[in-house]
Chain A
């Protein structure tokens, strides 16, 4: 069973709009959460980390974590065409062997 599940699979928003990506996990041992972004032809790159309940804002990007419901989200305001990419939610446990579990990704397209 996939430990990290993302929705939607794909998302299209107009330039300047708000994009909302969702992620739920099935493992209550997960303590650390990330959003990774992958542009076409490149490797994934960490966009934001969030380890505590609540919101974390970095520029146009806001991540929200609710550990009780095992839910994490990413909101991108004022979306730009350069935000078009594949976004992965990722999570890991405290302790363990460094493994990060990735979701299947959300393909975001921002239309000019």
Chain B
């Protein structure tokens, strides 16, 4: 059974629209993250949450907003989409300790036309 679920797997959007990427983890972890991967940046850290609170934000644009409705959920809302936002977005989770590895989901591949 998949431990980290990301929906949808593929997403096509038009420029200027808004989309929400879903992430749920069933590993019992308290920390969750979003990363972005594209040809320009192999693995780019975006956000980290711990106990549903924002801990770190390395995304310059406010168009990217994480949303944590439940302890094991961390969705990513992206507004005013641009073609440059096209990438694969990975959700990850871990125990809340520096020495623990992060577990990644399968990713959502977003294409903005």
Contact = CB atoms under 8 A, between A and B. Distances in A.
Interface of A: 31-32, 34, 42-46, 49, 51, 86, 88, 92-102, 104-105
Contacts, number: 63
Nearest to A46: B101
A104 B41 CA distance: 7
Contacts of A94: 98
Given A43-B104, A44-B90, A98 B43 contact: no
B42 A104 contact: yes
Contact of B98 (A31, A44, A86, A102): A31
B26 to A, nearest CB: 15
Nearest to B90: A43
B56 A42 contact: no
B94 A98 contact: yes
Nearest to A30: B98
7 contacts: A34-B101, A43-B104, A92-B99, A95-B98, A97-B48, A102-B45, A104-B41
Contact of B31 (A34, A51, A88, A98): A98
A98 B29 CA distance: 12
Contact of B104 (A31, A44, A104): A44
A42 B90 CA distance: 10
Nearest to B109: A41
B112 to A, nearest CB: 20
Contacts of A92: 98-99
A92 B33 CA distance: 15
A32 B99 contact: yes
